[in-house]
Structure 1
């Protein structure tokens, strides 16, 4: 990295990229900035976000658009795509990532970050998780990683932060792993990133676990291979034991920003409730300023600066060169969205059920990230030939849905809440015809200190046919939060079918930070 100076520092929006976007990594190429994040069991994998001002970010593609690039069809929940790092060298973009409980350490390459990306090269001899990619002064590629073993006889062991030199083209380590500085003694040293700035090489890591104790610590030395001296003020960033609105802050990556300064892009969560206990959206991408003092980075606390106003979109499945397509923001579970969703001659999205439900690891479901604390998702569905609906999902054990089945004379609508081994349903009979299904995430109602105000939000499951509307269920949102579900993802809301052929006219969204 190079040093930069500026008299005017910009306060960038926070969250920088909202919703399920954990473990961010960032690279600057000229005046363009690119961020990638983790996707775990979802496909496509590793979204690529682009900005020229570090304020407005647009998803321009995904690194892995095909199942064979990742091999996540059988990974356990919580496995899959962990902590990609994006870097650029000599006109080539690199993304190195761990496919936990899957292919292992993989490097993808592209000349255009929007894609297409390569099939991915497995790097033999790199175990553990959270790989970083750097190059020494001679041009040798260096992979620095967290030595947490997710497979094999050493499953569950943690060997601290490790490093190897690698041959990227051959896909192999050139040596056995050596141990590096592994933090201040807090649990789970992970997310290492290696930087060259001025006279020093810096090794930045996360430690303390990805929960409330999460933090960022740093060390420096004169060689990328160590030894490294830890900063006496470590951790340089953490929200633990504070009441800051953004918690779990860690897993950071440094970048020189358009205002001429240095910033850290990192993950965090926005817990709500009287005791800041529940984070509905999971781990999101945030940014904070870095000041350099005596050649050490000093991070500023992360302020909450959400974008003002409401965001609305109405996806009516659109034409592209005579056919229909889903944009880059759609996700499916352990399969490609194109294998789940087809289009009929009227331009409706059609999902054909195969008997699976949202309790199964590979349901017939396509969805999008919930981006705001207060949100509405709605769709109009034709269920005359099948059963399906609208669902909000954390994982196969934690999801709420509103489901319809029926014919020309009558429609049966069922709202359902799955909370691990507990299931509750509510049902209503409505007139036949297209039915509008609605999921609202709204702030809790109440005053003072009590159970009603402890939760993150309420989730309302609603239906409408013509002028007849009904709210079937008002359920507690805390059970679809990172703290309760304990999955590494966030809320994904989308369309699904269990049996038969179900046709959806579109997906409407309205979100705000109310």
Structure 2
């Protein structure tokens, strides 16, 4: 009897472990791209999937990802990775690159997007024969390409159509109302052809706000127009319309919106669902990529708008998102696709490579070679420049997205400030007006580290600690919205702040369309300097 019990227990434990393994293999976690990766657009080429997202004021612009299973994504580069492709000089926070669309046709990849707040600005596209590039210089469309969120549709007859949004001629009554327009476009000559058609005069609701992100698809003899409505925050929604004629009239789905979380209340942890794109798999299944946000620490979110994945089924000629659920799920069954096993880029960077990992970004377009991986092997050297991270400039800053509600970020810094205007260290920031900065400085002729809290454009010194000469470790430990800032030197840890309020970096307070970055920063505060800071390593861990 005892042997039977032991065998039964062993079998139960085995089956439990097997079920756990099957469970982990069969389900995926949302978001599929964590952190500030909004406005996803996707295309399939054979068995391969490619996706791009918005980048606003960050450079390089438009990260491009590759997947074979729609769940695991490997970044293969940036579409706009040369200054000649992307001028972000002096662009405002949350200006720059809006809502790219990626499409593939006859051996060519196309990415079309909007550049806001700088010159030249407007709508343009780039092309490449390979998704890894090189991508072409911008092909600017004429000024008649008004509005944001352009998309391209390649019809069966070889014609190409452009969709975008626009303000009505008379904007007096509804200030945020937008129309969706369509026109044939000659991409070779960068010119529009024929008449422009307003294919969506109103959204799913009378006077719907911010109709945008229009994408066209063709299925079973119908043209489907999918748009976002309600603005990109809590009232965001996805709606869909169809017509037998590409120019309309388009009938609305009586079940619109096909996706929204606005009815789930402010406390629901996933909110602001919208700005979606559809893709069909090689097996005939359909999926939707979209943006949404994760709230934490109350009605706050610091990570920005992230990329999520949802199942789509067609019923009675219309798409249904996650049938039986009707909402985006934190966990659900994986697509019926071969597993795409990737090796992610190291979250710890020892700066031993010849180039920066793809996850590193600059603010605006860097016009000087202020950083180097070769001047001191195994270190990232950042030159002190006059520009400051509190201004709308391109400072000596290299950062990466915050991707987790709780995280640990540390770096090892070697820096000897020679004047009191010189500084180097770490920054946790939403934009130029909302930041926490750990800075090594010179004060009264001696080295110190100070913690600066910047809120609504005003700096406040939270704490200052004297340090010894030589290298030191700077760290940020985020436990939800509680932030600890500290330094380590000679085996001793000193806190500059514990449980500092991370909510000052939430979009609720800062506004805008981006997410929090954590990174490395140096400045000589308006004075020319030949000094520099060396960073031995940078480590980021989600907790």
Q: Indicate yes or no: 2:370 matched with 1:316.
A: no
* Partner residue in 2 for 1:123: 141
> Structure 1 pair 311/501, CA: closer, same or farther in 2 (3 Å)?
closer
Q: Quote the RMSD (CA, aligned, Å).
A: 2.3
Q: Indicate yes or no: 2:115 matched with 1:83.
A: no
Q: Indicate yes or no: 2:314 matched with 1:278.
A: no
Q: Indicate yes or no: 2:508 matched with 1:492.
A: no
CA deviation vs aligned residue, 1:157-197 (integer Å, no higher than 9, x gap):
75411111111111122245321124123210000000001
CA contact (8 A) 2:46 2:282 kept: no
* Partner residue in 2 for 1:361: 392
* Partner residue in 2 for 1:392: 428
Task: Find 1:59's aligned residue among 75, 83, 86.
Answer: 75
- Look up the SS of the partner of 2:369 in the other structure: helix
CA contact (8 A) 2:370 2:385 kept: no
Greater Cα shift, 133-142 or 290-299: 133-142
Q: Give the distance between the partners of 1:157 and 1:267, measured in 2 at CA.
A: 21
* Partner residue in 1 for 2:33: 17
Offset of residue 379 of structure 1: 0.6
Q: Indicate yes or no: 2:362 matched with 1:332.
A: yes
- Look up the SS of the partner of 1:384 in the other structure: coil
Q: Indicate yes or no: 2:487 matched with 1:463.
A: yes
Q: Give the distance between the partners of 2:330 and 2:96, measured in 1 at CA.
A: 30
Q: Give the distance between the partners of 2:281 and 2:158, measured in 1 at CA.
A: 25
**Bigger Rg over Cα:** 2
* Partner residue in 1 for 2:438: 402
Offset of residue 423 of structure 1: 2.3
> Structure 1 pair 466/41, CA: closer, same or farther in 2 (3 Å)?
same
> Structure 1 pair 478/221, CA: closer, same or farther in 2 (3 Å)?
same
> Structure 1 pair 384/60, CA: closer, same or farther in 2 (3 Å)?
same
* Partner residue in 1 for 2:468: 431
* Partner residue in 1 for 2:253: 231
Task: Find 1:194's aligned residue among 212, 216, 219.
Answer: 216
- Look up the SS of the partner of 2:36 in the other structure: coil
Q: Indicate yes or no: 2:155 matched with 1:136.
A: yes
* Partner residue in 1 for 2:501: 476
CA contact (8 A) 2:176 2:209 kept: no
* Partner residue in 2 for 1:371: 403
Structure 1 segments of 4+ aligned residues over 4 angstroms from their partners: 156-159
Q: Structure 1 unaligned runs (5+)?
A: 1-8, 150-155, 444-456
Q: Indicate yes or no: 2:537 matched with 1:506.
A: yes
Superposition TM-score, scaled by structure 1 size: 0.88
CA contact (8 A) 1:142 1:165 kept: yes
- Look up the SS of the partner of 2:440 in the other structure: strand
CA contact (8 A) 1:53 1:258 kept: no
Offset of residue 58 of structure 1: 0.7
CA deviation vs aligned residue, 1:200-255 (integer Å, no higher than 9, x gap):
11000000110100000000011222111000110000000314321000000001
Offset of residue 280 of structure 1: 1.2
